[in-house]
Amino acid sequence: MLSDSSLAETADDERLAVLAKALAHPARLRILALLARTPGCIGGDIVQAVGLAQSTVSEHLRILKAAGVIDGQIDPPRVCYALAPHALAPLAELVGALQAASSDPACCVTPDKR
């Protein structure tokens, strides 16, 4: 996350960007909502619930897993998916910091140009 002392890009910024990109698709949000309601969901069940082709769901699951948002446990011949604990905490922290900054009445005040 961008710190107060520096606006240089950090590894945390890159991680937040990967998380945000992983969440930036409606189908992936539906998958996450399903996993929140149904921990340990089987891949085939996800396909049926989301209503997309197997290959499309597999690609969305791959993206979510690569971002660290979900975990997949292989139990042949199935893969069970679940939300990764605390994976979204850095993103929640950033959103909280942005909300706090936007509620500061002085944040957007420009000096008088006299």
Domain assignments of the chain as residue spans, ordered by start: 11-92
Share of the chain above pLDDT 70, in %: 82
Q: What is the mean pLDDT of the chain?
A: 84
What number is the average pLDDT over the span 86-105?
A: 82
Measured distance CA(48)–CA(77) in Å, rounded: 17
Q: Name 41's bridge partners.
A: 81
* Beta pairing, strands 70-75 & 78-83: antiparallel
* Structure token digits, residue 2: 């961008």
The pLDDT of residue 111: 63
pTM: 0.76
- At 48-95, the pLDDT tens digits run 999 999 999 999 999 999 999 999 888 888 889 999 988 988 888 888
Q: How does residue 103 score in pLDDT terms, banded at 50, 70 and 90?
A: confident
The pLDDT of residue 91: 85
Q: Using DSSP, state whether 80 is helix, strand or coil.
A: strand
| Residues written for the chain | 114
CATH class of the 11-92 domain in this structure? mainly alpha
Which residue carries 């945390």 as its tokens? 12
Angle between helices 26-37 and 43-50 (to 10 degrees): 120
What number is the average pLDDT over the span 13-41?
A: 92
Angle, vertex CA 28, rays to CA 97 and CA 92, nearest 5 = 15
